[in-house]
């Protein structure tokens, strides 16, 4: 049994939680910044345009 709450690395849970909050607002699709097509989300801030390929949302 591991005890994450007492482990120094256990702090990642709080960090991840904060990151989750900051990224949770990313929609499942966005309009391509170049052509405006609807781009499905591949990852947290990575979207895919059928014309322009993958692109990322600028952080902040
Ligand atoms: Zn595009």
22 occurs within a structural domain: yes
- Long-range pairs, 40-43, Cβ under 8 A, ≥24: none
Q: What domain range includes position 25?
A: 8-56
Q: How far is the CA of 24 from the centre of ligand 1 (A)?
A: 23
For residue 36, the model assigns a pLDDT of: 95
pTM over 0.75: no
Neighbours of ion ligand 1 (CB under 5 A): 32, 34-35, 49, 51-52
Q: Which residues of 40-50 are buried (b: 16+ CB within 10 A; e: fewer)?
A: eeeeeeebebe
Residue 23 or 50, more confident: 50
- Long-range pairs, 42-50, Cβ under 8 A, ≥24: none
29 occurs within a structural domain: yes
Q: How far is the CA of 21 from the centre of ligand 1 (A)?
A: 27
15 occurs within a structural domain: yes
Domains identified in the chain, total number: 1
> What is the tens place of the pLDDT at every residue in 12-44?
666 556 555 555 567 799 999 999 999 999 998
């Amino acid at each position: 049994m591991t005890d994450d709450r007492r482990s120094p690395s256990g702090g990642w849970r709080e960090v991840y939680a904060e990151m989750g909050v900051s990224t949770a607002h990313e929609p499942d699709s966005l309009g391509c910044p170049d052509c405006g097509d609807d781009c499905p989300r591949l990852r947290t801030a990575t979207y895919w345009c059928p014309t322009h390929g993958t692109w990322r949302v600028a952080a902040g």
